[in-house]
Structure formats: structure tokens, C-alpha cells
Amino acid sequence: MHRGTILDLPKRHTGDVQSPCAACTVRDLSICSVLDPAHVKCLTDIVSDVSISPGQSVFYEGDPAEHLFVLRDGCARVCKVLADGRRMITGFFFPSDIIGLAEDVTYAYSCEAVTRLSLCQFPRKELQDLFVEHPVLEQRILRVATNELAAAQDQMVLLGRKTASEKLASFLLLLSSRAGRRRARQDELFLPMSRNDIGDHLGLTTESVSRCFTRLRKQGIISLDAAHTIRILDRDRLLVLSGSGDYEIEPSVAAL
Amino acid sequence: MHRGTILDLPKRHTGDVQSPCAACTVRDLSICSVLDPAHVKCLTDIVSDVSISPGQSVFYEGDPAEHLFVLRDGCARVCKVLADGRRMITGFFFPSDIIGLAEDVTYAYSCEAVTRLSLCQFPRKELQDLFVEHPVLEQRILRVATNELAAAQDQMVLLGRKTASEKLASFLLLLSSRAGRRRARQDELFLPMSRNDIGDHLGLTTESVSRCFTRLRKQGIISLDAAHTIRILDRDRLLVLSGSGDYEIEPSVAAL
DNA sequence: CGGGACTTTGAGCAAATTCAACCATTGTGG
DNA sequence: CCACAATGGTTGAATTTGCTCAAAGTCCCG
């Protein structure tokens, strides 16, 4: 993983023909994939590498929305906070995800590092200019946005109409499926975020999350190898428990 | 309002130079606005007028996503249903809203008429073709999508972290603000949807919604002129009650 | 090995739900 | 034109789910 040399340099790359993207592990998953190798250079021309320590913010709610990010490594959380401090995590980002979609002049949420992050930072303005030459880029962004919209609607169903156990089951299955998309193991999940983070994402308290984990473990549906590593032992039952079971089982998924 | 003659014709318009859009009341609010009058014809060439009766579906979850709609008149609800029948309404659509954004080949939700609907129906495929010639159209769609994404995140905060009263207060303020955008009265709100619909949108039961309405009325914050017509009497207190109060008060809004 | 942060577990509580009854509005048929 | 059924809305009492508060346990890191 000799990518390390680039990661910690927060300076701009220009005219680097043997681009750092060539070695990028998420290149074929994220926006860059829509450009053929010959054109990726126009992206590398405007990209900066950014690295963020756990707990630090990539940006805050209300900051001018100047950049778009591609998460290359790590896990980030999207937070919105009410006046009295109640917090909601509207989502988590994993490698290949695009961070910072916003139409407004400011970000509508904060983005914080759960683990150390490595990000590609694109100035929104210059990216916009590239859209003219490469409309395929904008199309890709639109696809990402509509996919996020669909995910947001699923999350609303979860928040508004599912029980605590169903929420946790759904969350675990979603993470598992996203891990699969990144070609990681789907049965052994690494959960970098705290129980508190999970609670703020599912509309529950830390304690409720913990109790639901315990219940799933006692039912033999998952095992808790460590606080942040769980193993899915009975995917079918987890699916039924998630409340979306029964008719949302695609054969391809159910077969696993 | 001599638009009526067109509204009930579910047939395609072709080569109609004096386009129906000329008289459209939402034209300057929706996607059409991004094209100068000379180019609107390319939209009228592919549009169909559709009219839907209350309770009927525009499309169902799982239907092939063949069309994009612009709501010209009426109110629609977006529904997702769990296997056991629990329903979530992820949003309501009002005139000028775009319906049917989806990247998938099928719709991820159903869209049902709350009141009688008049819609412009665009075949997704042909619209896609127009994007090449008029990239400004795609840009507009992207803007709409990211705006919806921001709204979805606000709704997640509401669902996951607000109390029943805060939910209802937030909902009323949101509807009021959207009415304002359509240049309708902001203090006297017409709520076409049922208490049950509101409950399914806020993650509450019909009874809880009703109780919260009663409480707001008894506190003198709103008046219930009819079951579907409410008047906002004390906007400031409603704002504080919505939980987003205090620091989300924009001067322009607070001044009203 | 010790300290701090995070997690788990327990007991009591409260907000919202469920269940049930009643009320209001509307539309229909006699 | 009125009676009445049907639908939707409101109100009340009992229940439950998940929350709050409290304490003990665990893990990680220096």
C-alpha cells in the first residue's frame, strides 16, 4: 500500500502524468471511473489530498460549500445538531463515497472523521467547469445524488416506522451490503463508530442500541467478537427482523 | 383558469407552437424555467398531460421508472410500505415539484394523489436525450435532487430526534414556507392530507397528531378553522416549539 | 498498571401507542 | 329534505416501548 506517500501531502498536484489516481483503490468505484484514463488528468489537476484525524471535522454545518470530496479511506459521519444539542447522524460515509453534495452556498451539515480519513478534495467551482467539457461527470454526480435520495427515503422509513430491533437489524444489513459493494467481507462487519453514533443515526439512545446488540447476540443472530467487530451468523433471521424481510428478499441476496 | 381544456386530455401534444406551457401557472418555478421561451417547445414536444383522481396512484413502488412528472396542480404523497403494512410517507408534493427522480429502473416508492392532480408527464428516455442539447436541464434536475436531499436530511432529524409536538410544529412551518415559495398565503394553511397521512409522514399515529393539533390550538399558537385549514397565530412560538428555533431563525423569516 | 472513555446492565419513568368510544362531516338513498 | 351510514377526527384510559438515571464492567492506551 505505497499510497501513503501521497496521502499526507495536503498540497495540490499539478501536471503529474503518472497520476496518483492510477494506484487508487476506489478509483473504479467513484466518480473518477466515468472518465477514461486519458481524461483523468483533468481531475488530478484540480485535486488536493486531505487527511483528517479521528474526531476532527472535514467541514462544519454553515461553512461555505467550496469543495466536493471523495472518501478514499476511513469512515466519516454526517451530523446535524439541534439548538439544544440533540444530534442526528444522517449517514455514514465509506471509501468511494462522495461527500459534500449541496446546492446551497453553505454545507447543511457537518462531516466528522470517525476514523482517520484520506480524501480527495475538489474545488466545486473548478469541478463545475469540467462538467462543460465532460458532461458524463455531471451525470455521474446526478446518479450519486438520486441514489442518496433513495437511501435517505429508506432511512426515513426506518426512523419513522421501525422498532429499535428492526432499526439495528436494518442498519447491520445495510452496512453489510455496502461492505460487499466495496468487495469486503459481508459476514464479518467492522463497525468503526461508537454505540452513541449508531444511536444518533437510528434515533435511539446508546443504551437502547447496546440492549438490541445484546438481544441479537443472545438470539444467536450475530456474535460480538469485539465491541467494533460483529459477525452475522444468521442472515435470514436478521432480514426478517429488519422488518423489510419477506418481500424485499431478492433471490440473489437470499441465496447467500 | 382556461387551462382546463388541456388538463383532461391524456394524449400527447406534438408540434403545438402556441404551447400550453405559455399559460402554465408554475412554469417559472419548475424545470421549464431554465429554458428560454424559444426552447420550451422541445419540452412540449415530449410532454403529456395526466390527471389523477384523489386516492389513485401516479405510479407504484416497483413500477418501471419510465416517466418524470412535474406537478402542475394538486397535492401528492410519496409512500413506502413495509411487509406488514406499516406505511411511511417520505414527502408531499405541491405544484411546481418534480416527481419521479430515480436512478433505478423502477420507482422506489409509490406516488398517490391526495387531491386531484394535474401533471406534466415526460418520458425519461426522451428527456435524457434533451440533456445533451440542453445541459442546463440536467443541471436543474441535479439542483432539484440535491435540494430534496437536504430536505430529506432535515426530515431525518425530525423523525429521529424531535418530540411529537416539535414534529408537528416543524411540519406546519415547512408547509408554510413552501406555500410562500408558491406565493400563497403563509399564515393560513390548507392541509389537504388526512391526520393519518400526517402521522405517517411524521412517524406518529393519527391520534398523536390529533392531540398535538389540539394542544397547539389550546396554547393559542394556531387556530383550526376547519379540519383541513389551520391558521398560524403565533409564528415565533411555533418556531421555538419546532425545536429548530433559536439559531435557525433567519432574519427574513423572523420578521414576518 | 491505572485512568478515562466507552459499553453494558438494571430499575423506574414518561412519551407515545393501542384500544375503545364518541363526535363531526359528508354524501346517499328513501 | 331528512335519516343514516360511512369516513375521518377527537378524546380518554391502559399499556408499552424506549428513555433516563445510576452503577458496574470492559477495553484501550499511555
Domain boundaries, chain A: 4-152, 162-254
Q: Please tell me the distance from the alpha carbon of residue B73 to that of residue B96, in angstroms, as a whole number.
A: 8
**Contact check, Cβ <8 Å, B159/A203:** yes
- Mean pLDDT of chain B, nearest integer: 87
**Does B224 contact strand D, using a CB cutoff of 7 Å?**
yes
Band the pLDDT of A245: cuts 50, 70, 90.
low
Second-level CATH architecture of B4-153: Sandwich (2.60)
Residue–nucleotide distance: A150 CA to C13 C1' (Å) = 37
pLDDT exceeds cutoff 90 at A100: yes
In angstroms, how far apart are the furthest CA atoms of chain A?
57
**Contact check, Cβ <8 Å, A83/B246:** yes
- Lowest model confidence (mean pLDDT) among A236-245, B18-27, B55-64: B18-27
**Does B182 contact strand D, using a CB cutoff of 7 Å?**
no
What does the pLDDT look like over A133-168, one tens digit per residue? 888 899 999 999 999 999 999 999 999 999 999 999
Mean pLDDT of B46-70: 95
- Lowest model confidence (mean pLDDT) among A147-151, A224-228, B149-153, B155-159: A224-228
pLDDT exceeds cutoff 90 at A32: no
Check the CA dihedral A156-A158-A164-A170 and report its sign.
Answer: negative
Considering only CB atoms, A160 lies closest to which of B83, B88, B147, namely: B88
**Does A209 contact strand C, using a CB cutoff of 7 Å?**
yes
pLDDT exceeds cutoff 70 at A228: yes
Domain B162-254 has CATH 3.40.605.10: no
pLDDT exceeds cutoff 70 at A88: yes
CATH number of the domain located at residue range(s) A4-152 in this protein: 2.60.120.10
pLDDT exceeds cutoff 70 at A19: no
Task: Find the closest chain A residue to B201 by CA distance.
Answer: A160
Q: Which of A36-45, A122-131, B128-137, B167-176 has the highest mean pLDDT?
A: B167-176
**Does A212 contact strand C, using a CB cutoff of 7 Å?**
no
pLDDT exceeds cutoff 70 at A12: no
**Contact check, Cβ <8 Å, B146/A145:** yes
What's the DSSP call for residue B133? H
Q: Please tell me the distance from the alpha carbon of residue B168 to that of residue B213, in angstroms, as a whole number.
A: 8
- Lowest model confidence (mean pLDDT) among A55-69, B11-25, B141-155: B11-25
**A35 contacts A131 by C-beta, under 8 angstroms:** no
Q: DSSP string covering B182-250, please?
A: TT--SSEEE--S-HHHHHHHHT--HHHHHHHHHHHHHTTSEEEEETTEEEES-HHHHHHHTSSTTTS--
- Mean pLDDT of chain A, nearest integer: 87
What does the pLDDT look like over A196-207, one tens digit per residue? 999 999 999 999
Task: Find the closest chain B residue to A128 by CA distance.
Answer: B139
pLDDT attached to residue B253: 45
